[in-house]
């Protein structure tokens, strides 16, 4: 600001000096405020950087967690059934759930169950529910298990529901074991027969080949076939070519077996073959009935119970019938009407029991009786299947051995007839 209009030089000099001082102070204040604002902005940006999550690190952590969960090997159905039964017994006696889980985690021999029950005890101590913790391990606990636990916690009947779950797992394990035992014998005989054939082609047939080559006679077609097969197996170049081809063929076959087209064809064929139809039908109906009865009696809604029970069916044909049942129930139709249309697959007694259960309002009890009946039928079917397969496998082995013996001794018979 200029003060030239003031005539007094002394006064004008003082006013100019004061004006310069005030301007200097203002600039200093502005600079200080600016530096303060810059400092605050810098601190805020640093805080943001500190609080801002590192996405790469978080993704890495989540991947590690997923990998850790993937490493958990699912326990067998029987092992899970025993652990569930122990948990139900401890809770029924009045032991708190937290303490029961700690005891199970310490006493269990299975590493997976030990880790899961330990995690469950920690989660419950922090206020989580048992169902929330178990659903983090879908490889160990399926939808059926989680639905029953959720219903038990909601209704305050966790010991009763766990006991029902243990019985359900035991029945499923029993059926699975019976089917495996029925298939073990024929598979073992078949593998043993293949091994015997390979040993004979590699070690036994060359002895006969040397003996017949010295005679100079022409070998019969059957014998020549075995001789050629023996020479082929002993040829290193054939092995070098065949082993990679077998590996590629195995991988392609495995992929083909996972396609929907192959699975649908296989499941429909199993229900058409007389030797497997009875066992497949009864085992599927037993699993479905036991699961549906357990879920429905525990208070799980019928639509959800049907969808969960559908997953216990190991055959696509029965799964499609379960989907039809779900659709018809949503449309207001009873279940037995869907079953009545599937006469070729569903037995009449199964449909009749469903109808009685729906009309009397005692579906759970009727389905539970069906489960008991078909579980007994599965045992009978396994015994009958085993009794049929055993003589068939004996006949198969006899035919293979007879083929090899005839092929080996046929040149001798020809030589004897020529001499005679």
- What are the structural domains, with CATH classification, of the chain? 69-165 (1.20.81.30), 175-420 (1.20.81.30)
pTM: 0.65
pLDDT in tens, the chain (420 residues): 555 555 556 555 655 665 665 555 444 444 455 455 554 555 555 444 444 444 433 443 444 444 444 557 888 888 998 999 999 899 888 889 989 999 988 888 888 999 998 999 999 888 888 888 998 888 888 887 888 888 888 878 888 888 888 888 888 888 888 778 777 888 888 888 888 888 888 888 888 777 777 766 678 888 888 888 888 888 888 878 888 888 999 999 989 888 889 999 999 998 888 878 888 898 889 888 888 888 888 788 888 888 888 888 888 999 999 899 888 888 888 888 888 888 888 888 888 988 898 888 888 888 888 888 988 888 888 888 888 888 888 888 888 888 888 888 888 777 666 555
pLDDT of residue 29: 44
pLDDT of residue 52: 46
End-to-end CA distance of the chain: 148
pLDDT of residue 37: 53
Tell me the C-alpha distance between 307 and 292, whole Å: 9
pLDDT of residue 41: 53
Collapse the DSSP code of 282 into the 3-class scheme (helix H, G, I; strand E, B; otherwise coil) and give the result: helix
Concatenated DSSP letters for 172-205? HHHHHHHHHHHHHHHHHHHHHHHHHHHHIIIIIH
Output the furthest CA–CA distance in the chain (Å, rounded).
164
Structure tokens at 335: 């279940």
pLDDT of residue 372: 87
Exposed, middle or buried: residue 205 (CB in 10 Å: 0-12, 13-18, 19+)?
buried
Show the beta-strand stretches assigned E in 299-386: none
pLDDT of residue 265: 92
Tell me the C-alpha distance between 295 and 145, whole Å: 9
Nearest Cα neighbor of 321 from 295, 341, 294 is 341
DSSP letter (8 states) at residue 141: S
């Amino acid at each position: 600001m200029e003060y030239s209009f003031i005539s007094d030089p002394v006064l004008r000099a003082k006013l100019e000096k004061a004006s310069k001082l005030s301007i200097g102070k203002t600039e200093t204040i502005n600079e200080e405020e600016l530096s303060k604002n810059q400092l605050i902005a810098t601190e805020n940006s640093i805080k943001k950087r500190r609080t801002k999550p590192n996405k790469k690190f978080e993704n890495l952590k989540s991947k590690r967690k997923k990998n850790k969960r993937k490493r958990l090997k699912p326990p067998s159905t029987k092992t899970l059934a025993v652990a569930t039964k122990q948990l139900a017994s401890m809770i029924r006696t009045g032991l708190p759930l937290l303490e029961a889980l700690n005891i199970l985690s310490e006493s269990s021999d299975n590493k997976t169950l030990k880790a899961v029950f330990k995690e469950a005890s920690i989660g419950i101590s922090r206020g989580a529910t048992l169902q929330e913790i178990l659903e983090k391990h879908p490889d160990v606990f399926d939808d059926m298990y989680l639905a029953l636990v959720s219903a038990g916690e909601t209704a305050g009947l966790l010991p009763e529901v766990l006991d029902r779950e243990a019985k359900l797992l035991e029945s499923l394990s029993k059926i699975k074991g019976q089917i495996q035992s029925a298939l073990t014998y024929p598979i073992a005989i078949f593998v043993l027969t293949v091994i015997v054939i390979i040993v004979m082609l590699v070690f036994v047939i060359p002895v006969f080949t040397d003996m017949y080559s010295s005679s100079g006679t022409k070998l019969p077609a059957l014998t020549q076939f075995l001789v050629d097969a023996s020479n082929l197996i002993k040829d290193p170049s054939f092995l070098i070519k065949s082993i990679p081809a077998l590996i590629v063929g195995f991988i392609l076959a495995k992929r083909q077996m996972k396609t929907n087209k192959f699975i649908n064809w296989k499941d429909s064929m199993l229900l058409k073959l007389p030797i497997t139809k009875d066992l497949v039908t009864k085992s599927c109906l037993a699993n479905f009935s036991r699961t549906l009865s357990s879920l429905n009696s525990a208070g799980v809604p019928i639509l959800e119970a049907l969808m969960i029970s559908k997953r216990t069916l190991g055959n696509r044909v029965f799964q499609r019938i379960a989907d039809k049942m779900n659709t018809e129930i949503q449309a207001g139709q009873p279940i037995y009407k869907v079953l009545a249309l599937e006469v070729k697959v569903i037995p009449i007694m199964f449909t009749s029991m469903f109808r009685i259960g729906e009309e009397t309002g005692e579906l759970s009890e009727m389905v539970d009786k069906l489960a008991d009946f078909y579980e007994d039928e599965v045992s009978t079917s396994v015994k009958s299947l085993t009794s049929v397969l055993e003589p068939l496998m004996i006949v198969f082995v006899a035919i293979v051995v007879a083929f090899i013996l005839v092929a080996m001794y046929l040149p001798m018979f020809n030589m004897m007839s020529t001499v005679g």
